[in-house]
Amino acid sequence: MSDERSTPARRLVAPGRPVPVSTYRLQLGADLTFDDVAARVGYYATLGVTHLYLSPILTAAPGSTHGYDVVDHDEVSPVLGGADGLRRLSEAAHGAGLSMILDIVPNHMAVPTPAWHNRQLWSVLRHGSESPFSHWFDVDWSAGDGAVLMPVLGDRIGAVLARGELVLGTEDVPGEGEQPVLRYHDHVFPVRAGTEALPLAQLLESQHYRLAYWKVADEELNYRRFFDVGTLVAIRVEDPDVFDATHRLVLDLLEDGTLDGLRIDHPDGLADPTGYLARLREASGGAWVSVEKILAGEEELPADWETVGTTGYDALWRIQQTFVDPGGAAPLGSQLHRITGDTSDALPALVEEAKREIIDGSLFAEVHRLTSLAAAICADDLRLRDHTWRALEDCLVELLVAFDRYRAYVVPGETPHRESVEVMETAAAIARRRLSADREATMDVVVDLLLGREVGSAGRTRDARRDELIVRFQQTCGAVTAKGVEDTAFYRWTHLVALCEVGGEPERFAFTPTELLSWASTAQALHPLAMTTLSTHDTKRSEDTRSRMGVLSELPAEWWVLVEHLRTATASYRSALVDGRTEYLLWQTLAGTWTPEGPLATDRLTDYLTKAIREAKSRTTWTAPDEAYEGAVLSLAERAVVDPAVVELMDAWVARTATAVRAATLGVKLVQLTLPGVADVYQGTEVPTIALVDPDNRRAVDVDALAARLERLDEGAGPKDLADEKLLVTCRALRLRRDLSEAFTGPGAGFVPLAHSSGNTLTYARTVDGQPRVAVVATRLAHAVDRLGGWGEHTVALPEGDWVDVLTGRPVTGGVVPVAPLLDRLPVALLVREAS
- What is the rounded CA–CA span in Å between residue 97 and residue 77? 25
**Could you tell me if 284 and 389 lie in one domain?**
no
Instruction: Report the DSSP beta bridge partners of residue 813.
Output: 802
- What is the rounded CA–CA span in Å between residue 643 and residue 66? 36
**Could you tell me if 476 and 363 lie in one domain?**
yes
Task: Render pLDDT for 183-209 as a digit per residue (tens, 0 to 9).
Answer: 999 999 999 999 999 999 999 999 999
For residue 440, CA distances in Å to 391, 395, 433 come to 10, 9, 10
Instruction: Report the DSSP beta bridge partners of residue 111.
Output: none
- pLDDT > 70 in the chain, percent: 99
Q: Which of 809, 836, 676, 812 is nearest to 743 (CA)?
A: 676
Is a pLDDT exceeding 60 seen at residue 3? no
**Could you tell me if 366 and 471 lie in one domain?**
yes
Looking at the domain assignment, is residue 452 inside a domain?
yes
Q: What is the pLDDT of residue 5?
A: 66
Strands 209-213 and 187-190: unpaired
Looking at the domain assignment, is residue 403 inside a domain?
yes
Looking at the domain assignment, is residue 443 inside a domain?
yes
Q: At what angle do helices 658-674 and 722-739 cross, to 10 degrees?
A: 10
- What is the rounded CA–CA span in Å between residue 27 and residue 306? 27
Task: Render pLDDT for 164-181 as a digit per residue (tens, 0 to 9).
Answer: 999 999 999 998 999 999
Is a pLDDT exceeding 90 seen at residue 95? yes
Is a pLDDT exceeding 70 seen at residue 4? no
Task: Render pLDDT for 483-524 as a digit per residue (tens, 0 to 9).
Answer: 999 999 999 999 999 999 999 999 999 999 999 999 999 999
Q: What is the pLDDT of residue 141?
A: 84
Final residue of a structural domain among 184, 219, 234: 234
**Could you tell me if 305 and 378 lie in one domain?**
no
Q: What is the pLDDT of residue 751?
A: 98
- What is the rounded CA–CA span in Å between residue 23 and residue 637? 37
> Using alpha carbons only, what angle is made at residue 504 by residues 328 and 728, rounded to the nearest 5 degrees?
80
Q: Which of 718, 684, 736, 646 is nearest to 544 (CA)?
A: 684
Looking at the domain assignment, is residue 670 inside a domain?
no
**Could you tell me if 93 and 241 lie in one domain?**
yes
Task: Render pLDDT for 586-595 as a digit per residue (tens, 0 to 9).
Answer: 999 999 999 9
Final residue of a structural domain among 490, 520, 541: 490
- What is the rounded CA–CA span in Å between residue 101 and residue 712? 30
- What is the rounded CA–CA span in Å between residue 578 and residue 505? 27
The three-state secondary structure class of 794 is coil
In this structure, the number of other CB atoms found within 10 A of the CB of residue 462 comes to 13
Q: What is the pLDDT of residue 226?
A: 86
**Could you tell me if 151 and 81 lie in one domain?**
no
Is a pLDDT exceeding 70 seen at residue 35? yes
Report whether 76 contacts 249 (CB < 8 A).
yes
pLDDT band at 301 (very low <50, low <70, confident <90, very high): very high
**Could you tell me if 100 and 126 lie in one domain?**
no
Q: Where are the beta strands (DSSP E) in 55-132?
A: 58-60, 70-76, 99-104, 108-110
Task: Please report, for the domain that includes residue 180, its CATH number.
Answer: 3.30.1590.10
**Mean pLDDT on 411-419:** 95
Q: Which of 738, 730, 750 is nearest to 676 (CA)?
A: 750
Sign of CA dihedral 88, 92, 97, 102: negative
Q: Which of 622, 389, 352 is nearest to 360 (CA)?
A: 352
Task: Render pLDDT for 364-373 as a digit per residue (tens, 0 to 9).
Answer: 999 999 999 9
pLDDT band at 2 (very low <50, low <70, confident <90, very high): very low
Return contacts of 560-565, CB within 8 angstroms, 24+ apart. 560/331, 560/335, 562/649, 562/653, 563/335, 563/339, 563/587, 565/649
Looking at the domain assignment, is residue 2 inside a domain?
no
**Could you tell me if 473 and 362 lie in one domain?**
yes
Is a pLDDT exceeding 90 seen at residue 300? yes
Report whether 577 contacts 632 (CB < 8 A).
yes
Final residue of a structural domain among 183, 209, 234: 234
**Could you tell me if 375 and 388 lie in one domain?**
yes
Looking at the domain assignment, is residue 272 inside a domain?
yes
Q: How far is CA 269 from the centre of its chain?
A: 13
- What is the rounded CA–CA span in Å between residue 785 and residue 824? 13
**Could you tell me if 122 and 216 lie in one domain?**
yes
- What is the rounded CA–CA span in Å between residue 51 and residue 57? 16
- For residue 88, the enclosing domain spans 9-107+237-311
Strands 261-264 and 229-234: unpaired
Q: CB-side exposure of 680: number of CA atoms within 13 Å?
A: 27
**Mean pLDDT on 760-776:** 98
Q: Which of 193, 218, 245 is nearest to 75 (CA)?
A: 245
To the nearest whole number, what is the mean pLDDT of the chain? 96
**Mean pLDDT on 671-684:** 98
Residues contacting residue 167 through CB under 8 Å, at least 6 positions apart: 182, 183, 184
**Mean pLDDT on 146-155:** 93
Looking at the domain assignment, is residue 206 inside a domain?
yes
Task: Render pLDDT for 212-226 as a digit per residue (tens, 0 to 9).
Answer: 999 998 889 889 888
Looking at the domain assignment, is residue 773 inside a domain?
no
Amino acid making up residue 279? R
**Could you tell me if 192 and 75 lie in one domain?**
no
Q: What is the pLDDT of residue 1?
A: 42
**Mean pLDDT on 328-357:** 97
- What is the rounded CA–CA span in Å between residue 323 and residue 105? 33
Instruction: Specify the number of domains making up the chain.
Output: 3
**Mean pLDDT on 39-57:** 98
**Could you tell me if 95 and 200 lie in one domain?**
no
Report whether 589 contacts 641 (CB < 8 A).
no
